[in-house]
Structure 1
Amino acid sequence: MQQGPEGGSKHMYMEVSRQIGRMAAKGARVLEFRCVVSELYIALRTILIASVTSLRCRLQKRMLTKLLNALDAAAELSTTDRLDEVIHNMVEVGKSIGSNSSVEELLAQQNLLVRMLKKMNRLLEEEEACKASCALCSIEFLERIARYVPSSTVPIWKHMKASIINFLAWSDSRVSEHACWLVTTIIDGDWVKQWSENSLEKKKFWKNFFALLQADSLQAQRLLEEMFTFPGSVTLLFSVTDDFNVESTVAKHLCCAIRHKQLNNSNLFPLVSYFSEMVCVLKDNSENESFLCTLRRLVKAFCLATSDDQSPYFSVRNNFALTIGAVDLLRQIDELAKSGIEIYKRKRDFDNGINGGNVNPASGLKQCLVRLIANLTCEHHGNCDLARKLGAVPILLESTKLDCCNLFMTQWAIFALRSMMKEDSGCRDIISSMKPTSDVRLD
């Protein structure tokens, strides 16, 4: 019969002891004696470690069993005393995880942990039946498990993710924000990929997370900042929702991430594709305030990315799809203004209400767009040539008209035209061949 580690060590110990006895009887030399004693020490140490490990496993199993019983009782009738018992047992089990036990010992209790998480989720699904202190303790408990259990351990992580979704849905901001903190501590690139899957569980997570984000939850904002640091996160964030209010909020934080250089560089090029899609559907959403706000913030994000030649995002200027989208959008805005839609008229591009609040949903869109074209064409012959061929010059010339509503647009338009004339002879030919058609006047 094959012996376990503890039994094998005892056998080794007995064999070494007999050898010491024989050597002592024969009067063995000191060096040989020391070698055998060293072997004896190793055997004793192995026995001790195996015994302690076995004891810890039994103790951990006993504590988990007590926690399971407490969860059963609380789920049946969630009185204060029973919830306090759950908290007490959870704290005791939590202390034993990581501080005294190895990952192997923890995984040895995998079945018990899975059962415990199932029961905990059942208890926490009803916010009214539980209390915040129990939920907060559960979040700390999950964080400790997540720290020591590999993400490849599917059964445990499956139930932990279900717990996170439950916590995010709580109306108590202490619990929902603490749940965002938990996700921030465990998130990684693989986690982001996993949550792109189109399932009911994932949809519920994103719905709850975006609700917190729009409610200006500080922890939700920090989680979003952390997401921006991973490849593919921007594509994911804009693909999991079709609500322009949510997309506008994400775009606002995207601008901050670019300004502080927190955005993973690989995210910017997929963002160009999303921007191009938005430009294509402008006519269908020409008076949708949330859509226009999202579009303006995206343009602003590209302005920030292309303003500094030392920026890690400066290479996005080489993506000609961005130039095509920017000029196409400028042309559409010009056509919408000429068609009589009030919010696109030049005088309203800088329209502010009380305390600087924008009354016009398209406020600043054209100004940001002219600035973006100026950034894209600055010392970039390819973009200058492309912008001229797409018909940007006449619209930019129109934007140089001086008025008191938007001096910044005039400055950016002049800057863009100067860059294009410097880099592109075709642009110089167009402008030199033009003749004034009316008297110059101030609006």
Structure 2
Amino acid sequence: MAAPRTPPARLSGVMVPAPIQDLEALRALTALFKEQRNRNLDTIGVAVDLILLFRELRVEQESLLTAFRCGLQFLGNIASRNEDSQSIVWLHAFPELFVAYSSMILFTSLNPERMKELEENLNIAIDVIDAHQKHPESEWPFLIITDHFLKNPELVEAMYAKLSHQERVTLLDIIIAKIVGDEPLTKDDIPVFLCHAELMASAFVDQCKIVLKLTSDQHTDDEEVLATIRLLDVLCEMTANTELLGYLQVFPGLLERVIDVLRLIHVAGQDTTNIFSTSGCMRAEGDVSNMAEGFKSHLIRLLGNLCYKNKDNQDKVNELDGIPLILDSCNIDDSNPFLTQWVVYAIRNLTEDNSENQDFIAKMEDQGLADASLLKKIGFEVEKRGEKLILKSTSDTPQP
């Protein structure tokens, strides 16, 4: 029996030019697989390495698939009715080869017409999400989702309704990765992502209050809550994109619901000690204590985005008593990194070219409802000019 070799290192998945200058070497490997398909066990590890390497080659597709097929046939034949060879194949090939090969075939076979068939077979699409969730190191499921699924809003909507909460988190993480990736969304992407934005905003408006379950110790790891929190993360990134911002700024009920949830968790954190209570010490970088990490910060970030150069939303936040709520949230909180910075950002967007909101904050300070030191901390001060109070930005850099 051949001694098992150390499994090969994971391949990067980046399609790089192959050192093979023509197809002759690939054809030779294919022939070798055919000759060796019933031979000794020593070739199993080498065969798996070669099959995985095929993913990196930029060669004509038919020849590549032929080599894949012969390589897999070799592994299938050599493992047939032989426990020793089965063990070695499993050692070298699982899970990378099983996930990569089936996903690669699906990726290369999909086109707009076949995507319609996939809409009628949602279980296959959901299996791809599940494959990425379980094997994130395999790039093919990720590429299927980003290059095919996310270009079909009807499929995403139908699939989202049937995904488990954990699978939803996986899909939402991929959407975030697509939005913030090195390659910006293209003109063709924008109409599709506007549809995704509608789905995300609608789901958040409907489900966001479920985060209050976290006030109970019994729900501190609730997957449904985590999926809702991830919706907020997606909306923050979407509203940071100027092509998507305008649509979400006028989405019915979104601004109001964000203020509602901010108020509810703010009050809940003050009433009893729970996951939303402020902790006035800073943890070491990278130390995440709970799934609500950054939730309040992101609510305020989203409010700031929704109010960016939008007078109607600026006024609406004031009408809903959102300004005192935002100012009252400006505390050192180890569960909400960068909270002060997002408060600064939100207040600046709320007061930009909006004299009513500026006057409101100035009067709050004059009446003792807003701490002057707090305003200075976030980069503002109130100046009295005769009988009028003026809120102005200080020259000092806001303190973190």
Q: TM-score range by the shorter chain?
A: 0.5 to 0.7
**Cα displacement (A) at 1:267:** 1.9
Secondary structure at 1:344 match in 2 = coil
Query: AA paired with 1:329?
Result: V
**How far, CA to CA, are the matches of 2:261 and 2:74 in structure 1?**
49
Query: AA paired with 1:239?
Result: A
Query: AA paired with 2:320?
Result: L
* 2:131–2:141 Cα contact (<8 Å) kept: yes
Corresponding residue of 2:175: 254
Matches within 5 A, 1:238-387: 238-241=160-163, 243-260=164-181, 261-262=184-185, 264-265=192-193, 266-284=195-213, 287-289=219-221, 290-309=223-242, 311=243, 315-347=247-279, 356-387=286-317
% identity of equivalent residues: 18
**Cα displacement (A) at 1:396:** 0.3
Corresponding residue of 2:72: 133
Secondary structure at 1:356 match in 2 = coil
Q: Structure 1: where are the runs of 5+ without partners?
A: 1-78, 82-97, 100-130, 138-169
Corresponding residue of 1:25: none
**How far, CA to CA, are the matches of 2:212 and 2:336 in structure 1?**
24
- 1:213 corresponds, among 112, 123, 132, to 132
Deviation track 1:205-256 (CA, whole Å, cap 9, x = no partner) reads 2453233111213211111112112233432342121x22221121111111
The reply to whether residue 181 of structure 1 matches residue 120 of structure 2 is: no
* 2:200–2:234 Cα contact (<8 Å) kept: no
**How far, CA to CA, are the matches of 2:358 and 2:75 in structure 1?**
67
**How far, CA to CA, are the matches of 2:95 and 2:332 in structure 1?**
53
- 1:230 corresponds, among 145, 148, 152, to 152
**Cα displacement (A) at 1:436:** 2.4
Corresponding residue of 1:90: none
* 1:232–1:267 Cα contact (<8 Å) kept: no
- Count of residues in Structure 1 that have an aligned counterpart in Structure 2: 278
CA shift in 2, pair 1:295/1:136, >3 Å: farther
| Structure with the greater alpha carbon radius of gyration | 1
CA shift in 2, pair 1:268/1:407, >3 Å: closer
Q: Structure 2: where are the runs of 5+ without partners?
A: 1-36, 40-60, 63-69, 77-92, 378-400
**Cα displacement (A) at 1:292:** 4.0
Deviation track 1:67-88 (CA, whole Å, cap 9, x = no partner) reads xxxxxxxxxxxx969xxxxxxx
* 1:210–1:246 Cα contact (<8 Å) kept: yes
Structure with larger RCO (C-alpha < 8 A, sep 6+): 2
Query: AA paired with 1:302?
Result: L
**Cα displacement (A) at 1:182:** 2.0
TM-score normalised by structure 1 residue count:
0.53
* 1:303–1:372 Cα contact (<8 Å) kept: yes
**Cα displacement (A) at 1:319:** 2.1
Corresponding residue of 1:54: none
Corresponding residue of 1:105: none
Deviates more, 1:272-281 or 1:338-347: 338-347
Deviation track 1:328-359 (CA, whole Å, cap 9, x = no partner) reads 2212221321232422123289756xx72422
CA shift in 2, pair 1:334/1:206, >3 Å: same
TM-score normalised by structure 2 residue count:
0.59
**Cα displacement (A) at 1:291:** 3.5
Query: AA paired with 1:224?
Result: I
* 1:195–1:202 Cα contact (<8 Å) kept: yes
Measured on the aligned residues, the alpha-carbon RMSD in Å equals 3.7
Matches within 5 A, 1:56-67: none
CA shift in 2, pair 1:403/1:233, >3 Å: same
Matches within 5 A, 1:27-38: none
